[in-house]
A and B are shown apart, each in its own frame.
Chain A
Amino acid sequence: MKESLIQYTLHLADNSLILGQRNSEWCGYGPVLEQDIAITNISLDLIGQARNFYQYAATLINNQSAAKVSPPAGGGDLEGASEDSLAYLRKEREFKNCLLVEQPNGDWAQTILRQFFFSQYQYLLLEELLGSRDKQLAAIAEKSLKEVTYHLRWSSEWVIRLGDGTEESHNRMLKAIDELWRYTGELFEAASYELRASGEGFGVDVSKLKESWQKKVSDIFSEASLIPPSGGWGAFMQTGGKEGRHTEHLGFILTELQYMQRAYPGAEW
């Protein structure tokens, strides 16, 4: 139970951290000031969620070591774990985020679409997580859901605005769909710890979210005059991120994210 709870909590944390880090790359580069502020605000919310999940995971890990149980596989060097050690000192293969969140920002269309796909997924996930048997996961879900509602509304509006905008913005959205579509299937394919998590009643059965997600995405796409790429829902989907097999991008993200703690171990300011 503890082991899968730790893995599951880290997975939720990693998703939020990596997307938060990606979005923060826009800081100072947004297309207009208000949207620069919007995307970095979303970043802040995501990193805040990640902190809550990491803090909880650290508590679980430390309680487990205190009980003299060997630390979980893929947890890195977790002696005296903390939110910082979990974010800054785990290696690429130990990260359990989905592939979607680590994809490059691309242009504004690609960033918007990635946010929309993820927020729609996260919204449905957190709604279910409210009923988790684990009180802390339920509490984090309750807190985060209010923020994710904003992210979802904002990114949905932007998908419609760009898709139904000019020829240029429409074409960029089509390109973004082509780029990101293959990473959406993984969201609904449960990793081993997700299966255990939903089986034990503290996690969400992601396969059950698929239909609602597709329905919501179809609705927004049709309002945005956009269509899924050829192959549609049955297209080939790339998977592996949740089990630690990432695209080449994650290594680069971590290089930047973890630089300070790698170069100056234990640095504080």
Chain B
Amino acid sequence: MKLKNSNQSLLQKIGPFIGLIVIVLIFSILEPGFLSVNNLLNVLRQVSFNALIAFGMTFVILTGGIDLSVGSILALTGAVSAGLMASGIDPILAMLAGLLLGAILGAVNGVIIAKGKVAPFIATLATMTIYRGLTLVYTEGRPISGLGDNVAFQMLGKGYFLGIPIPVVTMLISFGILYFILKKTTFGRRVYAVGGNEEASILSGINTDRIKIYVYSLTGLLSALAALMLTSRLNSAQPTAGEMFELDAIAAVVLGGTSLTGGRGWIVGTLIGALIIGVLNNGLNIIGVTSFFQQVVKGAVILLAVLLDRKKTA
């Protein structure tokens, strides 16, 4: 009985990993250049932005919530940091301000959801629009550039550490920390508890409102971090940055096997899910699939993965 259970969950856990390997194999057969070190690092760098946001999304989804506003938080925090830098404020301070703003915007989501008892989908649908609107107001609809040449800022998106792009390093360090939090801390356990059964969690003396506010703040913070990396990489902040990012983040979480109803899942799966999406984006490009058709393939793969997952759990 016990063996059967652990086997089942093991299969569930390695399922996404097998999927990733299959996709990598297919692309490397169709186009041997896919496996070059350069291209793989490229994939990882592309993935790191989405992965950071998806890590936060994993926490949110584990509590049974959803956050549609991540792309707008990315745009707004990126724009504000860039604006501060362009106005001559110390770039480090500007970046810290961006991160703080991200956490605050996330906390606003959390407060609306926890204290205002608004469904997360609706609450973040609204703030998604509000934050995007604020971005457009702040930027007057134009990109912000002229961000100076502070080394720390420039390295964040473009630099290398031991030959590995800094965004990838940042993403992996964040992953390590977040994995530890979910696995080893009381906060992590409470995140699972809130999504597993909110009623029972409250009655066990857990402050579920606080947990919710924390996970949305964390997601805001991670979105802001992705924003800084992206702003550095492009050397400018775009008012339209991060559009549809929420969907890629949610897709990564779901591909990784985390349940949308909350309480079940793990962040390793999310990393693999983000890699699957990144590999698809890159591989389809390399083998010359048109960008229009790429969307069809991406959507179909997500659907297939979820259907296979259903089969397994049924």
Q: Do A and B come from one complex?
A: no
A interface list, Cβ under 8 A from B: none
B interface list, Cβ under 8 A from A: none
